């Protein structure tokens, strides 16, 4: 198992030991639930990583909508081992969509404080930003 997975596994094991002691001696619900959440998160990370590790997108039609979406959000083929050769994935040098999407999320958040007159434009801008972000690479080729 790779060291990066073992690091997460150790965190889960620590939470299991500490949480077990906490549950036995303290028996308090909130803390026990938090320890349990750490265990679940660590195990989930290890499980998902292990499940995904041997696979690549090679079996998936990259022209399909799902393939394009997965490539757009960054989960493409594993990077070539040599960082200075090969053909790594395409990444734009600049993009307006991060700042647009962040502003949209904040406007939507402010909408929860001030009212629907901000919430609805925020959500609309969020949708526009998300579409622009996910389709940017396809549009530049």
- Which of 25/117 has CB closer to other proteins? 25
| Residue 92 makes contact with other proteins by CB under 8 A | yes
| From candidates 103, 118, 123, 128, binder to other proteins by CB under 8 A | 103
Q: How far is the CB of 117 from other proteins (least distance, A)?
A: 15
Q: Which of 1, 20, 34, 120 binds other proteins (CB under 8 A)?
A: 34
55 binding other proteins? (CB under 8 A): no
Is 118:106 a contact under the CB 8 Å cutoff? no
Residue 112 engages other proteins in binding (rule: CB under 8 A): yes
Report the 10 Å Cβ neighbour count for 81.
Answer: 7
**Residue 127 interacting with other proteins (CB under 8 A):** no
Return d(Cα 64, Cα 59) in angstroms, integer: 12
Q: Does 91 bind other proteins (CB under 8 A)?
A: yes
* Of the candidates 74, 71, 73, 45, the residue with the CA atom closest to the CA atom of residue 58: 71
Contact 109, 61 (CB under 8 A): no
C-alpha to C-alpha distance for 105 and 119, rounded to whole angstroms: 9
56 near other proteins, judged by CB under 8 A: no
């Amino acid at each position: 198992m790779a060291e990066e997975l073992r690091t997460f596994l150790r965190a889960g094991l620590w939470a299991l030991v500490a949480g077990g002691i906490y549950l036995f001696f303290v028996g308090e619900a909130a803390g026990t639930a938090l320890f349990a959440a750490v265990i679940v998160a660590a195990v989930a990370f290890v499980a998902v990583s292990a499940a995904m590790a041997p696979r690549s997108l090679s079996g998936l039609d990259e022209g399909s909508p799902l393939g394009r979406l997965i490539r757009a959000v960054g989960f493409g083929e594993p990077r070539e081992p040599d960082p200075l050769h090969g053909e790594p994935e395409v990444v734009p040098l600049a993009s307006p969509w991060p700042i647009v999407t962040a502003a949209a999320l904040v406007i939507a958040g402010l909408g929860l404080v001030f009212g629907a007159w901000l919430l609805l434009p925020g959500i609309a801008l969020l949708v526009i930003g998300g579409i622009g972000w996910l389709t940017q690479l396809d549009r530049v080729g």
